[in-house]
Amino acid sequence: MKTKLILIICLLLVPAILVLACGGSTSSENTDDTSSQVTKDDIAAMTTFTKAALAIEGQRNESIDTYGPQAGPGLAPMFRSYVGNKYAGEIRPLVQQIFLLPCPQSLQHIKDSLIRLYEEEIELAVGDATRSYFYPTITMDNAESYIGGSYAQPWIEAQLFRRDIYTEWRRVLTTCGLSLDDFIQEVKTRQNSSINDVWEKVNRWKEEQNK
């Protein structure tokens, strides 16, 4: 919890660093001009990191979609631990992928927060000797509606932390004239296209085998 508190404080203290990274000023009258002062290198670095990090988030979300139906609220603790360990095994390599991503200073706090979040999700999914705290149906989009549900409180807090990360990520990019939501849609479209390409190849192979 202490580490998470430090990261949240960092999320709140970044604006001054961000404005400098984008070539702006800390005075309010210059805020609107910030995006026009961002260099091409700034844009390229922020874009590269964001797309790569969102692609990793996409892989994480695919695992959540896979195990969500298997780990509903009424699942017995033994089976929740089993599913949680399977999820943790798939997520561990993603932590290393995020760690290795080149990252501009203006988004370093986002990278650090994502790493901490993934590590926390792994800890919660594995759980302790008595139970796992893996509740994949609770996401950053619906976590607030579950507040007060003590059975899943640690996972709820983790998803609220993810929501805070995305809020700050969105703010940073917007300040520099970029859109996180556009990047999210672009990455989703690319990933869906890749999946479709795979199925097209599979279907072509099946057709050839049936000739």
Q: Give pLDDT tens digits for 103-153.
A: 999 999 999 999 999 999 999 999 987 889 999 999 999 999 988 767 889
- pLDDT at position 13 is 47
What does each C-alpha distance from 71 to 75, 149, 180 come to in angstroms? Answer: 6, 16, 30
Dihedral, 168, 120, 73, 157 alpha carbons, nearest 10: -40
Cα 135-138-144 angle, rounded to 5 deg: 135
146-151 contacts: CB < 8 A, separation 24 or more?
A: 151/73
Q: Does some domain include residue 68?
A: yes
> Could you tell me if 164 and 11 are in contact, meaning their C-beta atoms sit under 8 angstroms apart?
yes
Q: Does some domain include residue 155?
A: yes
pLDDT in tens, 190-209: 877 665 555 565 566 657 66
**Residue 100: which domain range?**
2-25+36-180
- The total number of structural domains in the chain stands at 1
- pLDDT at position 47 is 95
Q: Does some domain include residue 188?
A: no
Q: Does some domain include residue 194?
A: no
Q: Does some domain include residue 75?
A: yes
Q: What is the pTM of this model?
A: 0.76
Q: Does some domain include residue 207?
A: no
Q: Does some domain include residue 90?
A: yes
Query: Which two three-digit tokens encode residue 196?
Result: 């479709």
Q: Does some domain include residue 72?
A: yes
